[in-house]
Chain A
Amino acid sequence: MSGLLELEGLRRTFGALTALDDLSFEVPAGQVIGFLGPNGAGKTTTMRAIFGLTDLDAGTVQWNGRPVGHAERRRFGYMPEERGLYPGMLVGDQVEYLGRLHGLSAADAATATDAWLERLDIADRRDSKVEALSHGNQQRVQLMAALVHAPELLVLDEPLSGLDPSGIDAIGHVLVDQAQAGCCVIFSSHQLDQVEDLCERVVIIDHGHLVVSGTVDELATSGTRRLVVRVEGDRTAGWARHLPGVTVSEVNAGAVRLALESSVDSDDVLHAAMRAGRITQFSFERRRLSEVFREALA
Chain B
Amino acid sequence: MKFLFIALAVAAVIFVRVRIFRGRRRRRASEGPMQDSASEAEAVTSPVSPPRQARARSWHLLEGSLGEVGMVATREISERVRSRIFRIGTLVILVAVAAAIIIPTLHSSGGPTIQTVGVVGRQSPATEQIVKTAGTTEQDSVKIVQEPSLSAAKSGLRSGAVDFVLVDGSQVLLDKPASNSSPADPALVHDVADYLGVLKAYQAAGLTPAQGTQIDRAKPVPVVSLQPSSKGTTKTTSVFGVVLLFLMLTQYNTWILIGVMQEKASRVVEVLLATVRPIQLLGGKVLGIGLVAMGQATLIVGFALAIAAAVGSDLLHGTAPLVLACDLLWLVLGYAFYCWVYAAAGSTAERQDQVQTLALPLSIPILVGYIFSITVASSGNADLFFKVLAYLPPTAPFCMPVLVGLGQVTWWEFVASVLITMAGTVGMAAFAARIYSRAVLRTGGRVRVRELLSRTVH
Contact = CB atoms under 8 A, between A and B. Distances in A.
B21 interface: no
A293 interface: no
Interface in B108-122: none
Given A101-B276, A125-B45, A55 B271 contact: no
Interface in A91-118: 92-93, 96-98, 100-102, 106-107, 110
Interface residues of A, number: 44
Interface stretch (A126-134, A179-187, A205-213, A266-274): A126-134
Interface stretch (B35-43, B150-158, B188-196, B376-384): B35-43
Given A97-B75, A126-B49, A134 B40 contact: yes
Contacts of A89: 79
Contacts of B159: none
Interface residues of B, number: 39
Contacts of A126: 45, 49
A37 B55 CA distance: 43
A86 B268 contact: yes
A90 to B, nearest CB: 9
A80 B276 CA distance: 15
A86 B272 CA distance: 11
Contacts, number: 101
A76 B39 CA distance: 33
Given A100-B63, A132-B43, A78 B457 contact: no
A102 B275 contact: yes
B56 A107 contact: yes
A53 B71 contact: no
A138 B99 CA distance: 46
Contacts of B266: 84-87
A99 to B, nearest CB: 10
A128 B274 contact: no
A100 B43 contact: no
Given A53-B273, A126-B49, A84 B267 contact: yes
A108 to B, nearest CB: 11
B277 interface: yes
A66 B342 CA distance: 38
A78 B275 CA distance: 9
A83 B275 contact: no
A84 B42 contact: no
A125 B272 CA distance: 22
A277 interface: no
A15 B458 contact: yes
Interface string B252-275: 000000000001001111111111
Given A15-B458, A100-B71, A110-B52, A132 B271 contact: no
Nearest to A110: B52
Interface string B18-52: 00000000000000000000011111111101101
A130 B263 CA distance: 14
A287 interface: no
A223 B263 CA distance: 48
B68 interface: yes
Most buried by A among B41, B75, B273, B275: B275
B42 A88 contact: no
A55 B41 contact: no
B15 interface: no
Contacts of B45: 124-128
Interface of B: 39-47, 49-50, 52, 55-56, 59, 63, 68, 71-72, 75, 78-79, 263, 266-277, 441, 443, 457-458
Interface of A: 14-15, 48, 51-55, 70, 73-74, 76, 78, 80, 82-89, 92-93, 96-98, 100-102, 106-107, 110, 123-128, 132-134, 137, 145
26 contacts: A14-B458, A53-B274, A54-B441, A80-B271, A80-B274, A83-B267, A85-B271, A86-B263, A86-B266, A87-B266, A96-B55, A98-B275, A101-B276, A106-B59, A106-B63, A107-B56, A110-B52, A110-B56, A124-B44, A124-B47, A125-B42, A126-B49, A127-B50, A133-B42, A134-B41, A137-B42
A-B pairs, top 3 by smallest CB distance, nearest first, are A84-B267, A84-B268, A51-B274
